[in-house]
Structure 1
Amino acid sequence: MANSNIVLLLINFHLIFLSSLNFSEAQLAPAVFIFGDSLVDVGNNNYLKNTVVKANFLPHGIDYPGMKPTGRFCNGKNVADFIAERAGLPSSPPYLSLVSRPGKIDNATSLLTGANFASAAAGILNNTGIALYKELIPLATQVDYFATVSEELKQQLGPSAAQKRFAKSVFVIVTGSNDIIYYVPFADPSGKYNTQQQRMDFVLDTLEEQLRRLYDYGARKFVVTGVSALGCCPFLRAWDEGGVCNEVVNSLTVTFNEGIEPMLRKLKSEVKDMSYTYCDSYGILQNLIQNAKLYGFDENKAACCGQGNYRGKLTCMRTSPYCSNRSDYLFWDPFHPTEAGQRILVDNIFDGPSKYTFPLTVRQLIAL
Structure 2
Amino acid sequence: MSEKFTFFLLMFCMLIFINLKSSRAQLAPALFVFGDSLVDVGNNNHLPFSLLKADFPHNGIDFPNHKPTGRFSNGKNAADFLAEKLGLLSSPPYLSLTRIKSSNFSAGVSFASGGAGIFDGDDKIYHKSITFNKQISYYGTVQAKMVEQLGATKAEKMISKSVIAIVIGSNDFLGYFGSSTSAQMKIGSPQQYVASLLLAFKGQLKRIYDYGGRKFVIFGVPAMGCCPAQRVRNKTETCNEAANYWADNYNKGLVSFLQDYKTQVKDFQYTYFDTYNVFLNLIQQPATYGFKEEKSACCGLGDLNAKIPCLPISTYCSNRSDHVFWDLYHPTEAAARIVVEIAYNGSPKYVFPVNVKQLVSS
Question: 1:239–1:313: 8 Å Cα contact kept in structure 2?
Answer: no
Q: What do residues 311-334 of structure 1 show as CA deviations (whole Å, max 9, x unaligned)?
A: 012210111100111111111000
Distance 1:191 1:302 in 2: 28
The number of equivalent residue pairs is: 340
% identical aligned pairs = 48
Which secondary structure does the structure 2 equivalent of 1:249 belong to?
A: helix
SS of equivalent residue, structure 1 residue 222: strand
8 A contact 1:50–1:135 mirrored in 2: yes
Any gaps of 5 or more consecutive residues in structure 2?
1-21
Aligned to 1:316: 310
Shift of 1:296: 1.2
CA drift of 1:270 comes to 2.3
**Distance (Å, rounded) in 1 between the aligned partners of 2:33 and 2:86:** 13
User: Structure 1 residue aligned with 2:101, among 98, 106, 110?
Assistant: 106
Aligned partner of 1:170 in structure 2 is: 163
Question: Which of 250, 263, 270 is 1:269 aligned to?
Answer: 263
Q: Match of 1:333?
A: 327
2:45 is matched with 46
Of 251, 274, 286, which aligns to 1:257?
Answer: 251
Match of 1:236 among 230, 246, 253: 230
1:213-249 deviations in whole A, cap 9, x for unaligned?
1111100011111111111111111122222111111
Instruction: Determine which of 276, 281, 301 is the counterpart of 1:282.
Output: 276
Change (3 A) 1:283 1:214: same
Counterpart-to-counterpart distance in 2, 1:237 and 1:194: 24
Deviations 1:267-320 (A, max 9, x none): 222224001111100111111112211211111111100111110122101111
Indicate if the aligned counterparts of 1:33 and 1:172 stay in contact, CA closer than 8 A. yes
Determine which of 282, 293, 312 is the counterpart of 2:287.
293
Structure 1 residues 190 and 333: CA distance shift in structure 2, 3 A: closer
Question: By how many angstroms is 1:164 displaced?
Answer: 0.4
- Determine the C-alpha separation between the residues in 1 that align with 2:118 and 2:102: 28
Within the candidate set 351, 354, 357, 1:360 is matched to: 354
Q: How do residues 108-187 of structure 1 correspond to structure 2 at under 5 angstroms?
A: 108-109=103-104, 111-127=105-121, 134-183=127-176
* TM-score, normalised via structure 2 length: 0.89
Q: CA RMSD in A?
A: 2.1
Task: Please state whether the residue corresponding to 1:108 is helix, strand or coil.
Answer: coil
Aligned equivalent of 2:196, options 190, 202, 225: 202
8 Å CA contact 1:305–1:332 kept in 2: the answer is yes
Aligned to 2:17: none
Q: Distance in 1 between matches of 2:316 and 2:182?
A: 38
- 1:64 positional shift: 0.4
Residues 216 and 270, structure 2, Cα contact 8 Å, conserved in 1: yes
User: Distance between the aligned counterparts of 2:234 and 2:173, measured in 1?
Assistant: 20
What SS does structure 2 have at the residue aligned with 1:35? strand
Letter of the 2:75 partner, please give it: G
Larger deviation: 84-93 or 179-188?
Answer: 179-188
Q: Output one character per residue of 1:185-208: Cα deviation in whole Å (capped at 9) or x when no partner.
A: 868969994332222111111111
Give distance in 2, aligned partners of 1:146 and 1:229: 29
Structure 1 length-normalised TM: 0.88
| Displacement of 1:353 | 2.3
**Does the C-alpha gap of structure 1 residues 70 and 191 become closer, same or farther in structure 2, counting only changes over 3 Å?**
closer
Tell me, what secondary structure is at the counterpart of 1:112?
A: coil
